[in-house]
Structure 1
């Protein structure tokens, strides 16, 4: 997967879209193919706006929580070293890439969007690491040691994922900027770190406060 093919994916949403290699401010050690805002020489047309809303290319942005979790992993490599890590809703792949750089035995980028998986693979190559691609959470490996997830709780219907993550692996690392209270006491808050989506979407300030959580899952508890 090369940059032209990623441009093709993006142009399904925005006809004049293209990606460019950039380093997000929140995790500058990782380069990514992301949306190039230089193409927006003027406001979006009605048709373009409808396309962006109807089928957003989430993978072409590095969201605040993804940056913060990726940088946290790079700063705390012992949390992933030697483990099989599955990154749920991987998008650009930034967290899976950080896990691979930090010494994970295997870093798995899991996303239902084929374009996101293409982006994760391209971004991994850009950073000199490899990630395993997973298109279906239900068909994941049964031997995952750690689940990571960032910015996946924006939809209230996704709340059951909190329990699903705990049941799926001995450990979970979660980053989120949308919910002040997860409503699940198993998740221990480790840090609150400021981050901004890259390229910057000028979101509300409250969405720039990213909370990192860790939990020892039900599988680990059951072994005690």
Structure 2
């Protein structure tokens, strides 16, 4: 049990920028921080979930870059960033002029990291720790999801929900670098980015990520 989550995040990460998104300063695991070398077994022994929030994943970076490059697509809109991780997509939406930005994460440490990253970048973001899969998100205009198709159970649970949201008239953006369980149909390409990454978390130093618009199911 962590008594001071903010202190834990600061002690185990470094503030850094990614090459694709130099606009933002994030609390990230790097080669010089303890989380970088922590194994899943070590994390399990300490009762901590894997620190997905401490990495700027490729799919999320692609969606964030797309939003910054096309600010008119979110300006004045209400944006929901699902499985927000570090909050990078939510930060991009806030910077691009969204009227409201909600970053959803069920990991309490991720919620704290999103709040810290928002403060570091002068962005206003609502961090929501509830499991909202299946929610109608009636007060949202745009739904973003980065890297949610890396495991079959997750993809099988999330994609039908995203299609329902698209069917309800929401713009649904999926960022994906070719994960194994991304659907092969019902998607429309919006943008494509070459994303520098680390071979420690991906299988190569540069990955191509596509921003897809999810079509109604």
Q: TM-score, normalising length from structure 1?
A: 0.79
How far 1:211 moved relative to its partner? 1.3
The answer to whether the Cα contact below 8 Å between 2:144 and 2:173 also exists between their aligned partners in 1 is yes
Instruction: Work out the CA distance in 2 between the residues paired with 1:109 and 1:89.
Output: 7
CA distance in 1, matches of 2:189, 2:216: 15
Task: Give the deviation of 1:21 after TM superposition.
Answer: 1.0
Helix, strand or coil at the partner of 1:143: coil
| In 2, Cα distance between equivalents of 1:118 and 1:202 | 22
Task: Give the CA deviation at 1:99.
Answer: 0.3
Cα deviation, residue 55, structure 1: 2.8
Aligned equivalent of 2:163: 166
Gaps of 5+ in 1: 11-16, 219-224
Q: Distance in 2 between matches of 1:206 and 1:25?
A: 12
Please say if residues 178 and 207 of structure 1, whose CA atoms lie closer than 8 Å, have aligned partners that are also in contact: no
Task: Please name the residue that 1:222 is paired with.
Answer: none
Aligned pairs for 1:42-81 within 5 A = 48=39, 50-52=41-43, 55-81=49-75
- Listed one character per residue, the Cα deviations across residues 137-177 of structure 1 (whole Å, up to 9, x for unaligned) are 15674221111010111111122312211212511011011
Aligned equivalents of 2:16 and 2:25: distance in 1? Answer: 6
How far apart in 2 are the matches of 1:69 and 1:164? 19
**2:153 aligned residue:** 157
In the TM superposition, residue 50 of structure 1 has moved relative to its aligned partner by 1.4
The alignment yields a C-alpha RMSD, in angstroms, of: 2.8
Aligned to 1:14: none
Paired residues, number: 204
Cα-to-partner distance string for 1:92-150 (whole Å, 9 max, x where unaligned): 00000100110111110001101111111110111111101212215674221111010
Q: Which runs of 4+ in 1 moved over 6 A?
A: none
- SS at 2:112 equivalent: helix
Matched residue, 1:182: 182
Match status 1:215 vs 2:214: yes
1:207–1:179 CA distance, 2 compared to 1 (3 A): farther
| CA distance in 2 between partners of 1:181 and 1:115 (Å) | 26
- With structure 2 as the length reference, what TM-score do the two structures score? 0.82
- Report deviation, 1:56: 1.1
Q: Which residue is 2:103 aligned to?
A: 109
Greater Rg by CA: 1
Structure 2: segments with no counterpart, 5+ residues: none
CA contact (8 A) 1:6 1:19 kept: no
